[in-house]
Structure 1
C-alpha cells in the first residue's frame, strides 16, 4: 500500500543494483568481474568539483577506475574499479519522472558499466533495450 511505501536505504538500493546487474546479459556481466558497486547518498565534494557539477543532485552515478580498453599488465597498485550510485539524486530523479525506480537504477548502472567498457551511448542503449523489465 502506498501509505507504507518508503524510499530504499543505502543497503536496499545496493541490493537493487546487484539484482539489476543479475538481469543483464551474461557476457556483459562476465566482463564486470571485479567491479565493485557501491551506493552513497551523494558524491563527495571532490567528485562534484572534478565533474564540474553545479549541485550534489547533478550526478546519478559515476565510474571510477581504469576502463577495460585502458587496462594493461603494467598497472600495478591501482585501486579496484568502482561504480557509484548516488541514492538521493536517483530518488529525486525518480520523483520527477514516470520511470520505475528499478528502471532508473538499471539505466544508471548500464551507463556506468558502459564507461568501464568504453562503450558508446548507442551501445549502452542497445544493451538496455535487450533487458526485459
Structure 2
C-alpha cells in the first residue's frame, strides 16, 4: 500500500526521493517516542529521519546515516479505525508529510501535493 501511494506521487517529487529508504514498522521505537514526547506509540504515524535536502551539503558526510521515512503500521491502522478516511488516503497523507520533511516543504506545499494526488485518485475512480 505504501508503494502504491508512492507511485501515485508526482514524478518530480519521487525523483528527489531516490536516496531515501522507506521503512514500514509495527510501532516507533521507544527512544523515538521519548524524543518526540509521545504519550503513546499510537501517537506517531510516520517519521522522517536524516538530514533534509535544504540542510545537506554537496557530498554526504562520513558516517552519515541514510535519510529514511518510517511508516508505523499499527498506529496508522488504529487511526484508520477511528476516522472516516480510506486507509489508502491515510497512508498517502503520512507519506507525503514525511517526504515533505525531507524536502523542507511548508505545510502549504504538502497540502498542494496532497490535493494533486487526491484529484488524480478521483479522476481514476470516475473512469
Q: TM-score, normalised by structure 2?
A: 0.90
2:27 corresponds to 1:37 = no
Q: Distance in 1 between matches of 2:67 and 2:3?
A: 16
Q: Aligned to 2:31, which of 26, 39, 46?
A: 46
- For structure 1, the residue ranges without an aligned partner over 5 or more in a row are 1-15
Q: TM-score, normalised by structure 1?
A: 0.86
Q: Distance in 1 between matches of 2:76 and 2:115?
A: 20
Could you say which residue in structure 2 is the equivalent of 1:102? 88
Shift, 1:39, TM fit: 0.7
Q: Distance in 2 between matches of 1:98 and 1:55?
A: 22
- Structure number with the higher helix fraction is 2
Aligned length: 118
2:105 corresponds to 1:116 = no
Could you say which residue in structure 2 is the equivalent of 1:66? 51
Q: Stretches of 4+ moved more than 2 A in 1?
A: none
Q: Distance in 2 between matches of 1:58 and 1:19?
A: 24
Could you say which residue in structure 2 is the equivalent of 1:10? none
Shift, 1:74, TM fit: 5.5
Shift, 1:75, TM fit: 1.7
Q: CA RMSD in A?
A: 0.8
Shift, 1:77, TM fit: 1.9
Q: Distance in 1 between matches of 2:60 and 2:34?
A: 29
